[in-house]
């Protein structure tokens, strides 16, 4: 687990910073910038940090998801209570699947999630998996494995940025970050 793995991004291509709130389940340790999903119990949880992709099945049949804007990880104090988070406490998250919401990560992984790669212009328009990379550990990011509609939570790459967060299509510099949209989660049709 690493804080700020996936964060909202605002650029001329779009981006918003809407915040919503949800209750979390017992023993959660997610941090800001990590995926969270609504589960059947009506509470929110982080997908397992196990090098597997974030899937719709991990949502327990629901399609509500987001990226934590704060969380109970690493002994964080709940600003609403002044003490450590407890089961049922509310936490803020940025919803995914909203029109125009963009995200940024520098955790750009090769297929298999074992190593980091340099993003390139050819990645723009590709739909990849959102994965927890355990080597190093990398943390939550995007893996160059084609995402499956109705199975995976999908990240569509919309831009590649350099170390100064400028588009490489303009600067010609090496890619460091992917800017992407998380597609609205939809369940497979039965």
Could you read off the pLDDT of 94-133 as tens digits, one per residue? 998 887 889 999 999 998 767 889 999 999 999 999 998 8
Nearest-angstrom CA–CA distance, 132 and 107: 9
Q: Report pLDDT for 187.
A: 58
- In whole angstroms, what separates CA 188 from the centre of its chain? 21
Could you read off the pLDDT of 48-69 as tens digits, one per residue? 877 688 888 887 667 788 999 9
Count the domains in the chain. Answer: 1
Nearest-angstrom CA–CA distance, 82 and 101: 31
DSSP state, residue 115:
S
- Going by pLDDT thresholds of 50, 70 and 90, the confidence category of residue 9 is very high
Asked if residue 14 belongs to a domain, the reply is: no
Residues ≥6 apart with Cβ < 8 Å to 82:
none
Q: Report pLDDT for 161.
A: 97
Tokens of residue 34, six digits? 């990590």
pLDDT at 167 over 60: yes
Range of the domain at 122: 102-182
């Amino acid at each position: 687990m690493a804080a700020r793995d996936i964060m909202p991004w605002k650029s001329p291509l779009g981006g918003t910073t809407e915040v919503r709130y949800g209750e979390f389940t017992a023993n959660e340790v997610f941090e800001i910038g990590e995926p969270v999903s609504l589960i059947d119990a009506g509470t929110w949880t982080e997908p397992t940090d196990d090098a597997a992709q974030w899937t719709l099945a991990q949502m327990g049949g629901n399609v509500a998801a987001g990226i934590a804007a704060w969380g109970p990880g690493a002994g964080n104090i709940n600003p609403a209570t002044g003490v450590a988070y407890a089961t049922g406490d509310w936490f803020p998250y940025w919803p995914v699947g909203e029109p125009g919401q963009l995200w940024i990560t520098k955790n750009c992984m090769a297929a298999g999630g074992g190593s980091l790669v340099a993003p390139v212009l050819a990645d723009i328009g590709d739909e990849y998996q959102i994965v927890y990379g355990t080597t190093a550990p990398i943390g939550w990011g995007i893996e160059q494995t084609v995402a499956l509609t109705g199975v995976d939570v999908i990240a569509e790459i919309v831009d590649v940025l350099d170390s100064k967060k400028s588009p490489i299509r303009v600067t010609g510099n090496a890619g460091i970050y992917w800017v992407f949209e998380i597609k609205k989660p939809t369940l497979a049709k039965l």
